[in-house]
Amino acid sequence: MRFYVPEWEDAVDANYDFIHDELSVLNKTERERSFIWDIFDYESTPIDGVLISREQAEGSRTKFDRITEYGVYDDPQLNIPNWLPTISDCGAWGYKSLPFPPYANENMLEFYEKMDVDVGVTIDHLVLGSGKQKGRLYLDERGLNPEFGESDLPTELTDQVDVMIDEWPNEWPDIVSRREPSIYDIGGVEPFTSEDFEGSAIEILQRMNEDPRAVYREDDKQERYEMTLENARKMRDLYHDGDWSFRLMAAFQGWDPITYGDALDEVLEMDYQYVGIGGVAGSQLKQVEEIVTEVGHRIADYQSNHGTRVDTHVFGFAKTDGFETIGRTGMYSIDSASMLRAAWTGGNNYHLNADERFDAIRVRYTSPGDDLKTAAEKSMLGQEVLHALRAFDDGDSISSRIRGWYAEATPVLDSLVDYLTDNRHDERYDARLLREITSEFRDDFEYGCELQASFSDDLRKQLVKLLRVDDADDPVDFDEYLEIINAGREVAERFPRTVDRVEALEEKSGEVATFKQVWTVLENYATSDLVDDQNLLDGYRKTLRSRPWDRCDCPICEELGIEVAIFRGNNRNRRRGFHNTYRFYQQFKRDLPKILIVAPADGSLFGRNTVEGYLTDMYGELWGAVHDIPVAEIGVLDANGVHEWWEPGPPSVSLDPSGISEELERKAGRYDTILYYDPDGKARLDIDSVEIVEDPQEVRGRTLERLGYDSDPVPSRDIQIQLGEF
């Protein structure tokens, strides 16, 4: 089974300065960015693929143009390694408030081709809940205005119908011309007025039926259900008529197990061999289990009756409690970013495993609107606790580390006066952009980074703004610089806050870096009036006593230690998200071991319509024994790599023994078990994780044994769900 992570620009500064909380380069386009696949190596990368949604990609015109020009594997920003498979879909969640998907089928196929993804998904529309008694009304946001806005809608209407408001596209796809011609090919948008919403709810809805700014549906979920299937049918026809380089997956929707199952039957009749269960993200585990069980049973029946295989993806679902059901029902792939997003949403944002989750320690930046003294004081409070936490992690004297920081911070302001006196009119500060001046200042002034770390980015920005307007011919009064600097001096006189108490504890115990010592600093920080995080202290106590980062073997924790357990800015928080993903993936692999079944290739693989056809002809007994096994991946191996069962035959076949061994060795780095089918007993391989098996039934038996499944692994349906069919 494969786990995909959605791509949402989840990148960090590869060379971030954690000590001073400084980006390596202020210009984003010049910065070296690291995605999760950059931080981990081939063997340890905690994902099996990347999901890229069009709706998300369109959030940046620059990004959209870039990935459609270069493709996702050659894009200089994403730089996804070619061994990671990619799926692209429309991003139905992003347009759920529109009455129709905004994309046309042929346009989506062309988009997938330009992106050079491995799998493209048909256009679906989320089947939303039943809504209120009278159904759902969609309004074009462009028609709302200061004279008549959303708050002016009559309550008699909003009490009876769900109202969905969004900005409609300037051009709708062709499906709209058939389903709702009143809104298709409309030029301008007239503003709504109160007269449009006069009368009873029924009168308003009747009026909206022909209004080009509105769509009313009494049974909206059925419409969305049918649209999703119509798009799957249309896109399949276009796909068959064209020459596309990617695999096509049919997304299907429903609102209960039976409607999901019925939708599946329809897409299977369209000859899809990769199908995607949409609309379950955020659903309760029991609901998802019921849906995938129904889908799994129907797929099992289809595979048995047709002697083929069907791969199934579950969109937006990755609950560890559901792995057993997901695996047994024959799902092939899942995707989720929930464990990544959890790193900066709510508590319990550092994950060690499903049972051990901890609160990352919040060390806050300044807030918008803080005056200079408040900003400087928050920064110094933060630096005192950050240096204490690092000393605690390193096993060093916390008091010495705090004194060392303070000794480095206090000369900064005096040096700043001297520097500004000599350099404030330097031509390097003639730049127009604050970013450019800031870069010059922090690189040229010896303590440019320490100034920001200890006395706040706000203080440094104020100085940089003065530098920008300061001109030798029309100089700024130097007292304006001194006023800013003296604000920092006044705050610095009140620090360090806790060093004497910590030093006394060290002398009394004869030990350093104890919990009690670091707690003295952290408690002072969290209970200060400027921070007021005392309600978080219980969680912090658990985190510091447990030291979970010491028990993690991911490269992020091994390199950064306690920094990963500090809640502070993108570069810590996203790295913690990558760590969470790694920990999730370890459980994913434990519960659903990664198993690859491969058969050897020969020259007849060349030019085949499908690898499945080759397996059926050359290794019929093996295909019959394994084609319906859940979780495991199936393919044919030559020296060029593994050709998956659904792919067309390769344009060339290499039987070089050393190349085949190298490919198996490489694959073994990503799989827990590789079962190499060798009916003639001729293979001579000595590679960890590669088992040579001569009997097809033994291949099946070993696979199910690794998974802990019996011969018929699909869980039974809930009897009440089955009764719904009658």
pLDDT-derived band at 131, boundaries 50, 70, 90: low
Integer Cα distance of 324 and 320 in angstroms: 8
Residue range of the domain that includes 202:
136-217
Residue 429 CA from chain centroid, whole number: 40
Q: Give the angle subtended at the CA of 649 by the CAs of 646 and 652, to the nearest 5°.
A: 145
- Pairing mode, strands 673-677 and 690-693: parallel
Residue 325 has pLDDT above 80, yes or no: yes
Q: Is the pLDDT of residue 346 over 90?
A: no
Residue 436 has pLDDT above 90, yes or no: yes
User: Regarding beta strands 595-600 and 673-677, do their DSSP bridges make them parallel or antiparallel, or are they unpaired?
Assistant: parallel
Residue 660 covered by a domain: yes
Q: What is the DSSP string of 565-598?
A: GEE-HHHHHHHHHHHHHHHHHHHHHHHS--EEEE
DSSP codes of every residue in 72-134: TTT-TTT---TTS-EEEE--GGGGTTSSS-S--HHHHHHHHHHHT-SEEE----------BTT
Which residue in the block uniquely carries the two structure tokens 């400087």?
376
Q: How many domains, the chain?
A: 4
Report pTM.
0.94
In which residue are the tokens 């011609």 written? 181
Higher pLDDT among residues 708 and 711, named by residue: 708
User: What confidence tier does 723 reach under pLDDT thresholds 50, 70, 90?
Assistant: very low
> What's the pLDDT band for 725 if we cut at 50, 70, 90?
very low
Give yes or no for residue 146 having a pLDDT over 80.
yes
Check residue 194 and give its pLDDT.
Answer: 94
d(CA 517, CA 502) in angstroms, rounded, equals: 5
User: Does 682 reside within a domain?
Assistant: yes
| Whether 381 and 327 share a structural domain | no
CA distance linking residue 350 with residue 355, whole number of Å: 11
518, 380: one domain: yes
As given in the structure block, the two tokens for residue 115 are 């992106």
Together in a domain, 505 and 410:
yes
Distances (CA, A) of 616 to 362, 498, 619, 626, 633: 58, 74, 6, 11, 16
pLDDT value, residue 718: 64
User: What's the pLDDT band for 313 if we cut at 50, 70, 90?
Assistant: very high
pLDDT tens for 64-79 read 999 999 999 999 999 8
- Residue 332 to residues 2, 60, 310, 459, 518: CA-CA distances in angstroms? 6, 31, 9, 53, 47
Report the pLDDT value the prediction gives residue 28, as an integer from 0 to 100. 85
**Shared-domain flag, residues 373 and 278:** no
The per-residue b/e assignment along 363-389, b for 16 or more CB within 10 angstroms, e otherwise, is bbebeeebebebbbbbbbbbbbbbbbb
Q: Where does a domain end: 532, 557, 584?
A: 532
Q: What is the mean pLDDT of the chain?
A: 94
What phi, psi does 431 have (nearest 5°)?
-65, 155
Is 353 a domain residue? Answer: no
Give the pLDDT confidence score for residue 415 in this predicted structure: 96
Q: Give pLDDT tens digits for 369-423.
A: 999 999 999 999 999 999 999 999 999 999 999 999 999 999 999 999 999 999 9
Side-chain half-sphere of 492: how many Cα atoms within 13 Å? 22
Clarify whether residues 104 and 150 are in a common domain. Answer: no
d(CA 672, CA 607): 31
CATH code of the domain in which 286 resides = 3.20.20.105
pLDDT tier at 713, thresholds 50, 70, 90: confident
Q: pLDDT tens for residues 387-400? A: 999 999 999 999 99
| Alpha carbon distance 11, 575 (integer Å) | 9
- What is the tens place of the pLDDT at every residue in 588-613? 999 999 999 999 999 999 989 999 99
> Residue 500 is encoded by which pair of tokens?
């004497």
pLDDT tens readout for residues 541-582: 999 999 999 999 999 999 999 999 999 999 999 999 999 999
**pLDDT band at residue 222 under the 50/70/90 scheme:** very high
* Residue 608: Cβ within 10 Å count: 20
| Residue that the structure tokens 């073997």 belong to | 553
Q: Both tokens of residue 601?
A: 């290739």
Beta bridge partners, 251, equal 276
Q: Which of 507, 532, 557 is the last residue of a domain?
A: 532
Question: One-letter amino acid identity for 621?
Answer: E
Q: Is 19 a domain residue?
A: no
305 in a structural domain? yes
Among 614, 612, 388, which Cα is nearest to 497's?
A: 388
Q: How far apart are CA 522 and CA 360, in angstroms?
A: 13
Q: How far is CA 721 from CA 182, 258, 260, 290, 331, in A?
A: 39, 7, 12, 8, 20
The DSSP letter of residue 432 is S
Q: How many residues does the chain have?
A: 726
Q: Are the CB atoms for 492 and 413 separated by under 8 Å?
A: yes
**Does 376 share its domain with 522?**
yes
Q: Is residue 542 part of a domain?
A: no
Helices and strands (H, E) in the chain, number of each type: 28, 22
Burial 10-23 (b: 16+ CB within 10 A, else e): bbbbeebebebbbb
Rounded distance, CA 426 to CA 444, Å? 11
Instruction: Give dist(CA 595, CA 694) in Å, integer.
Output: 17
Give the end-to-end CA distance of the chain in Å, rounded to a whole number: 34
Question: According to the model, what pLDDT value does residue 383 have?
Answer: 98
Angle between helices 515-526 and 372-394 (to 10 degrees): 160
Which among 218, 318, 223 has a CA at the least distance from the CA of 277?
318
Same domain? 272 vs 389: no
CA dihedral 195, 199, 205, 208 (to 10 degrees): -20
Q: Is 10 among the domain residues? A: no
Is residue 304 packed enough to be buried (19+ CB in 10 Å), middle (13-18) or exposed (0-12)? exposed
- Is 454 found in the same domain as 397? yes
Copy the structure tokens of residue 540. Answer: 């912090």
Angle at 221 between CA 218 and CA 227, to 5 degrees: 110
Peptide bond into 102 cis (omega under 30): no
Using one digit for the tens of pLDDT, what is the confidence trace for 514-552? Answer: 999 999 999 999 999 999 999 999 999 999 999 999 999
Q: What is the pLDDT of residue 466?
A: 96
Q: What is the mean pLDDT of residues 357-363?
A: 98
495-518 residue pLDDT tens: 999 999 999 999 999 999 999 999
Residue 29, token pair as written in the block: 């386009």
Q: What is the pLDDT of residues 15-53, one digit of tens each?
A: 999 999 999 999 888 999 999 999 999 999 999 999 999
**Spatial contact of 417 and 375, defined as CB atoms under 8 Å apart:** no
Give CA–CA dist 20/409, Å, rounded: 11
pLDDT reported for residue 185: 84
Q: What is the pLDDT of residues 84-101, one digit of tens each?
A: 999 999 999 999 999 999
170 lies in the same domain as 70: no
The 10 Å CB-count burial string (b at 16+, else e) for 201-228 is beebbebbeebbbbbbbeebbebbbebb
Q: Are residues 372 and 439 in the same domain?
A: yes
pLDDT at 721 over 60: no
Residues 645 and 620: their CA atoms lie apart, in Å, by 13
Has residue 628 been placed in a domain?
Answer: yes
What confidence tier does 130 reach under pLDDT thresholds 50, 70, 90?
low
Q: Is the pLDDT of residue 719 over 60?
A: no
Residue at a domain's end among 532, 550, 585:
532
Going by their DSSP bridges, the two strands 633-638 and 595-600 should be labelled as parallel
* Residue 689: pLDDT band with limits 50, 70, 90: confident
Residue 724 — pLDDT band, cuts 50, 70, 90? very low
- Co-location of 184 and 264 in the same domain: no
Residues 471 and 410 in one domain: yes
